[in-house]
Amino acid sequence: MHALSSTSTSTSLRIGLIYNPLGGLARKHHHAISTILSELPEVLQWEISTVDDFDNAVNALIQSKIEWLIIIGGDGTIQGVFTRIFSRLPTSQWPSISIIPGGTTNMTAFDLGIHDKPNLILERLKQHLNQPTNNSALKIINKAVMRIEQTGQPTLYGMFLGLGLIARGVKFSRSRIKQIGITGNIFTTIIVLRSLIGTFLGRPHPTWAPVQIMLPHTNEANRSQPYLLAMISTLDRILMGIHPYWGQEKASLHATFVAQHCTRFWLAMLKIILKQGRSLKKEHGYLSYNTESLELLLDDEYIVDGELFYASSQQGPLKISAKEMVKFLIL
C-alpha cells in the first residue's frame, strides 16, 4: 500500500549518495557509474563494501543532515542502510530516498517502477541537478517498511521477508550462479525454480526441507505447521512483477503461506502468476492476508531482502510490523 504524489526538488537540498560497487548491476556498469558520479561534485558520496562502511556512511549522512539520499545498490544494500538509519533517526527526520538498482536482486526498485540501468538513471539525476531553475517534478511514493523484531536480536528494517524454500534458495544463490554474472529477475527466477525443483523433483534432502512455523494468536497457535514457503512483504510486486498475495484487508503488510501438504501446487502457482490467487483456499494449503503486524514462532533461517538471518523460538516470537513510512523520490 502506498500513496502517490509529486514534488519539486531544489539544488539547495543537501544531497547524499551511497554506492555499493559490489552489486551485480553495479559491477556490470561500474565504469559508467563512476564517470557520472565524478561529475556530481555537489553530491556527498560514500562508497560502501563492508559493515564498517555502512556504519560510517550512515553516521556521516546524519551528521551532514542530508535531506535527499540516493542509494545505488540492491535489496540487501537498501535493507542495510534502512536498518541503520531507523536505529538512529525517527522517521520525521528522515531524508527523502531515491533508489537506483545496482544489486543482483532489485525487487524494491522494480516495485517502485524503476527498471532502467543505473547509468541511465544517474544521467537523469545529473540533468535534473543541472537545470537552471530545477523545478521539474519528481514522483513521490510513500511506502511502508517492515520492522522485524525478536528479543535479544538487533531490530531489522526491510521490504521482503521469506521463509522455507525462499530462504533455501538464497543459500543456493551463494554458489556458482551468483558468480557467473546473472542478475535481476533472471537470477531471482533461477533461485525460486531451483528451490521448487529440489523439493518436488529431486531427492528428499534437508537442504530443501519445509519450515516449521507456529502462528500465535491464530487457530493454529498451539502447534507448529510445516510450510513449503512463506513470504511477508510491503512490496506489491516481487520477481517478474508477480503479485503473490490475495488478501482483501486494507493493511500495508502482505502475508502468504503455502503449506507442505497443499494440493495442486503447480496449478496454484500458475493461478498466482495470473493474479487468480483469490480462488485458492486455506483448506487446500494456501493462506494469504493483509495485516499491520503478525508474529511467528520458528527455529530456522529466514531472509530479509536477500540477507540470511536466524530465528530461535527460545527468544520468543519474530514480530513483524509495518507502521513506518518512507518517502521515495523516483528519478
Q: Where residue 242 sits, what CATH number does that domain have?
A: 2.60.200.40
Domain limits for position 75:
2-145
In a domain, 227, yes or no: yes
Distances in whole angstroms, Cα of residue 157 to Cα of each of 10, 53, 79: 29, 18, 6
In a domain, 44, yes or no: yes
Percent of the chain with pLDDT over 90: 62
> Which candidate, 209, 210, 203, 198, places its Cα nearest to that of 173?
198
User: How many domains are contained in the chain?
Assistant: 2
Q: Are residues 180 and 203 in the same domain?
A: yes
Q: Are residues 231 and 183 in the same domain?
A: yes
pLDDT, residue 242, reads 86
Of the three residues 119, 145, 171, the one that is the final residue of a domain is 145
For residue 210, what is the DSSP state?
P
Res. 321: pLDDT tops 60? yes
For 273-309, write each residue's pLDDT tens digit. 888 888 999 999 999 999 999 999 999 999 999 899 9
Q: Are residues 198 and 80 in the same domain?
A: no
Q: Are residues 162 and 128 in the same domain?
A: no
Model confidence, pTM: 0.87
User: Which is more confidently placed, 42 or 269?
Assistant: 42
- Confidence bin at 136 (pLDDT 50/70/90): low
Identify any residues that bridge with 307 across adjacent strands, giving them in sequence order: 304
In a domain, 307, yes or no: yes
Q: Are residues 158 and 133 in the same domain?
A: no
Q: Are residues 169 and 300 in the same domain?
A: yes
Q: Could you tell me the three cell numbers for 103?
A: 544489486
Q: Where residue 50 sits, what CATH number does that domain have?
A: 3.40.50.10330
Q: Could you tell me the three cell numbers for 146?
A: 517492515
In a domain, 329, yes or no: no
Q: Are residues 211 and 125 in the same domain?
A: no
Instruction: Give the number of C-alpha atoms closer than 13 A to the C-alpha of residue 188, restricted to the C-beta side.
Output: 20
Which helix (H) or strand (E) segment is 147 a member of? strand 137-149
pLDDT, residue 166, reads 85
Q: Are residues 168 and 188 in the same domain?
A: yes
- Confidence bin at 5 (pLDDT 50/70/90): low
**pLDDT mean across residues, the chain:** 86
> Using CA atoms, how far apart are residues 293 and 287, in angstroms rounded to an integer?
16
- Confidence bin at 250 (pLDDT 50/70/90): very high
**Region 227-238 average pLDDT:** 93
Q: Are residues 216 and 302 in the same domain?
A: yes
In a domain, 330, yes or no: no
In a domain, 328, yes or no: no
- With b for 16 or more beta-carbon neighbours within 10 A and e for fewer, the 52-61 pattern comes to eebeebbeeb
Of the three residues 145, 171, 198, the one that is the final residue of a domain is 145
Q: Are residues 164 and 278 in the same domain?
A: yes
Res. 191: pLDDT tops 70? no
In a domain, 265, yes or no: yes
Q: Are residues 94 and 211 in the same domain?
A: no
Q: Are residues 13 and 115 in the same domain?
A: yes
Q: Tell me the one-letter amino acid at 136.
A: S
pLDDT, residue 293, reads 95
Choice among 179-183, 250-254, 269-273, 311-315 with the minimum mean pLDDT: 179-183
